[in-house]
Amino acid sequence: MASVDKTRTTITAKECATYLGISYWKLNDLCKDSQMPHTQIGNRRLFRKEVIDSWLQTKECASIA
């Protein structure tokens, strides 16, 4: 039987909001407007930290250009 890696590769919407320092509701608005990269499975939104970091860096670079 194959071993399953138990290391999480995604974070929840609440965890992502805390990570970014914004409200859960603001995060939901960004997702609804297709401004925040995420994956939706059923009613759950999941985020990968690496993608969020990349998205944040892109936003930062755009703000100084």
Query: What would the pLDDT profile of 7-47 be if each residue is shown by its tens digit?
Result: 889 999 999 999 999 999 999 999 999 999 999 999 999 99
| Residue 48 covered by a domain | yes
pLDDT at residue 6 greater than cutoff 80: no
What's the pLDDT at 17? 97
What's the pLDDT at 45? 95
Specify whether the CB–CB gap between 58 and 19 falls below 8 A: no
| Residue 33 covered by a domain | yes
| Residue 3 covered by a domain | no
Q: Please, is 12 exposed, middle or buried when counting C-beta atoms within 10 Å of its C-beta (0-12, 13-18, 19+)?
A: middle
Q: Which domain holds residue 19?
A: 11-64
| Residue 5 covered by a domain | no
| Residue 4 covered by a domain | no
pTM: 0.82
Specify whether the CB–CB gap between 48 and 10 falls below 8 A: yes
Specify whether the CB–CB gap between 19 and 52 falls below 8 A: yes
What's the pLDDT at 1? 57
Number of domains in the chain: 1
